[in-house]
Structure 1
Amino acid sequence: MKWQNALKDYQLYLKIERGLSENSINNYALDIKKLVSFLENNKITTSPIDVSTKTIQECIYETAKNVSARSQSRFISGLRSFFDYLVFEDYRESNPLELIESPKIGRKLPDTLSEAEIDQIISTIDLSKPEGERNRAMLETLYGCGLRVSELVNLKISDLFFEEGFIKVTGKGDKQRFVPIVDLTQKYINIYKNEVRTHLSIQNGHEDTLFLNRRGKQLTRAMVFTIIKQLTEKIGLKKSISPHTFRHSFATHLLQNNADLRSIQLMLGHESITTTEIYVHMDKTHLTETVEKFHPRKSR
């Protein structure tokens, strides 16, 4: 079995059997390509079926010189998943990473913005320019609905159900969910959609795409990153901010205002509530207040 063929089969498995997104599949594939590159650079001739634990360990040690413990752990996890697939398909009898441990890493808590900081960022947008209305609507949607940046740029006009108070979001693995949308966010989307977007020369295939660039095509994820970076630089914000920061802030602020974890999980589209629980760790004061308010022995 050649590496190229094994990788191609693995990518099909991730897409069809596990329903992963294109981005996730590319990330998994990159881990295998790093291993293949290591083998080629060191003139090691071996196949996915025969590669040994010792060889993979050498690759991990080599890679670890230039990356953080978190990236190293991610790399090991990606390789382990690939060889689990080969075992599952009976190409191998065992996974060569069974005895290789990932480095211990602390749980990374995401940066969040305060409500005042979000207001400050949005108020910095230049509304005298056509793209200003678009950018305001985008940031209000990121924060107001807790979307991933990929979900934002792929949002369709046909996904807007304003009368019912929801939008339809297509998340990881093409899984769809309905997320509530507040009146203020609806208002800014309608301003952009009805007063700015209608004047664009919309390209074929993008007629239903909500957020467009000046050429009438879907915005890229990179462009949304750039817009947010420029706005945060303008106000001199020192935090590490990305589109995902607005999503984290959405979840954190809901929790601080006593929303239940299960509801937050559904709105974020997390498959497991364990992923959502990271927001509990971010705000210890919320835990204290919850016990003081609801525990039956609080006043004894």
Structure 2
Amino acid sequence: MKWSQALKDYTFYLKIERGLSQNSINSYVLDVEKLISFLEEKDINETAISITDETIREFIYNTSKHINERSQSRLISGLRSFFNYLVFEDYRPDNPLELIESPKIGRKLPDTLSEEEIDNLIKAIDLSKPEGERNRAMLETLYGCGLRVSELVNLKLSDLFFEEGFIKVTGKGDKQRFVPIIDVTKKYIDIYRKDIRKHMNIQAGFEDTLFLNRRGKQLTRAMIFTIIKQLAVKIDLNKSISPHTFRHSFATHLLQNNADLRSIQLMLGHESITTTEIYVHLDRNHLTKVVEKFHPRK
């Protein structure tokens, strides 16, 4: 089996069977392409079926000179996934990365904002400008619903189910979920919709897009980053923040107020509870309270 065919089949598998986004697919494919380039450069004539763990180790050793441990771990994980696919399809009997360990890397905890810091950022928005109401509604939605920035910019009017108390969110891999929306978030979205958006000259194709730029088109992710960075400077917030910080804060504050991890997982759209568990590490006080409340010897 040629590398090109193996890669083509693997790409199809990632898209159709695993339902990954194009960005995720590109990352997985790039890992394999790096291995293929190494084999060509070293004139090593091994196929995806015949390649041995020794050759893989040589490739990883060569590559590790130029990338950090986190990137190295990501590369090994990507290759392991590729060869697991080949084993699953009975193309080869074993995974050559089975005994290759990833470097031990510390888990980076996400930055979060306090409730006061979030309030101060939102209060710093200039509401005398038309985009002010939009920006307030956007930040309230980021924090109130725990959205990713891509989910925010792609939010549609037809995704708002205010009477039922939910919004429909399209996440990674086009997976959809319903997220509860609180009254304060609904209030600011409605103000923006009725007082600002309604009077805009909306471009064709963006009639259903909720948050629009001044030209009546969909906002870019970069624009959301810029808005937040400027607000942070305005209130002298000495933290490196991004739209994702609001999502992390949403999850952390829910946990602090005794929400269960499973519910937080569903609202964030995490496939695995392991991803959600990172928020437990952010709040040691919460763990202490759980032990004090539920341990039989309390």
Query: Structure 1 length normalisation: TM-score?
Result: 0.91
Number of positions where the alignment pairs a residue of Structure 1 with one of Structure 2: 298
Displacement of 1:44: 4.0
- For residue 3 of structure 2, what is the aligned residue in structure 1? 3
Question: 2-side partners of 1:125 and 1:32: how far apart?
Answer: 46
Query: 1:251 aligns to what?
Result: 251
Provide the rounded CA distance (Å) in 2 between the counterparts of 1:230 and 1:62. Answer: 42
Q: Deviations over 1:57-79 (max 9, x none)?
A: 23222332333322211111011
Aligned mates of 1:126, 1:65 — CA distance in 2: 49
Q: Which moved more, 1:112-121 or 1:212-221?
A: 212-221
CA shift, 1:102, in A, is: 0.4
SS of match in other structure, 2:178? strand
**Structure 1 residues 108-117 or 222-231, which shifts more?**
222-231
Q: Aligned partners of 1:236, 1:65: CA distance in 2, in Å?
A: 39
Closer/same/farther in 2, CA of residues 159 and 47 from structure 1, 3 Å limit = same
Q: 144-153 or 32-41, which moves further after superposition?
A: 32-41
Kindly indicate whether residue 259 of structure 2 is the aligned counterpart of residue 231 of structure 1: no
Query: Could you tell me how far 1:171 is from its partner in structure 2?
Result: 1.9
- Larger mean Cα displacement after TM superposition, 170-179 or 38-47: 38-47
Equivalent residue of 1:95, what SS?
coil
> 73-82 vs 201-210, which deviates more?
201-210
Q: 1:36 to 1:163 in 2, by over 3 A?
A: same
Q: What is the DSSP-based 3-state SS (H/G/I as helix, E as strand, rest coil) of the residue aligned with 1:216?
A: coil
How far does the alpha carbon of each residue in 1:236-288 deviate from its partner, in whole angstroms, 9 at most, with x for none?
33323121111110010011111122221221122222222221121111111
1:214 maps to a residue whose letter is R
Residue in 2 that maps onto 1:270 = 270
Give me the whole-angstrom Cα distance separating, in 2, the residues matched to 1:59 and 1:273: 33
Q: 1:254 to 1:57 in 2, by over 3 A?
A: same
State the alpha-carbon separation in 2 of the partners of residues 121 and 36 from structure 1: 48
Note the C-alpha offset of 1:142. Answer: 0.8
46-55 vs 116-125, greater mean Cα deviation: 46-55
1:159 is displaced (CA, Å) by 0.8
Partner of 2:204, secondary structure, is coil
What is the aligned partner in structure 2 of residue 80 from structure 1?
80
Which whole-Å deviations, capped at 9, do the CAs of 1:129-149 have from their partners, x for residues lacking one? 322222221111111001112
Q: Match for 2:246: what amino acid?
A: F
Shift of 1:214: 2.6
Identity over the aligned pairs, expressed in percent?
Answer: 79
1:293 is aligned to 2:288: no
1:1-300 aligned within 5 A: 1-298=1-298
| Secondary structure class of the residue paired with 1:169 | strand
**Residues 131 and 256 (structure 1), Cα distance of their counterparts in 2 relative to 1, 3 Å cut:** same
The 1-side partners of 2:265 and 2:124 are apart by 31
Compared CA separation, residues 93 and 161, structure 1 to 2 (3 A): same
Partner SS for 2:245: helix
State the one-letter code of the partner of 1:264: I
* 1:38 counterpart letter in structure 2: F
Structure 1's consecutive aligned runs of 4 or more residues displaced over 6 angstroms after TM superposition are none
Task: Report the secondary structure of 1:4's partner residue.
Answer: helix
* TM-score normalised by L of structure 2: 0.92
Q: Which amino acid aligns with 2:282?
A: M
Between 1:259-268 and 1:289-298, the stretch displaced more is 289-298
Residue 177 of structure 1 aligns to a residue whose secondary structure is strand
Q: Name the amino acid aligned to 2:183.
A: D
Q: SS at the partner of 1:167?
A: strand
Q: Which runs of 5+ in 2 are unaligned?
A: none
Deviation sequence 1:180-238 (CA, Å, 0-9, x none): 11111111111222222223332332221111223322222233223222322333333
Letter in 2 for 1:82: F
| Comparing 203-212 and 58-67, the one that deviates more | 58-67
What is the rounded CA distance, in whole Å, between the counterparts of 1:216 and 1:4 in structure 2? 43
Could you tell me which runs of 5 or more consecutive residues in structure 1 were left unpaired when the two chains were aligned.
Answer: none
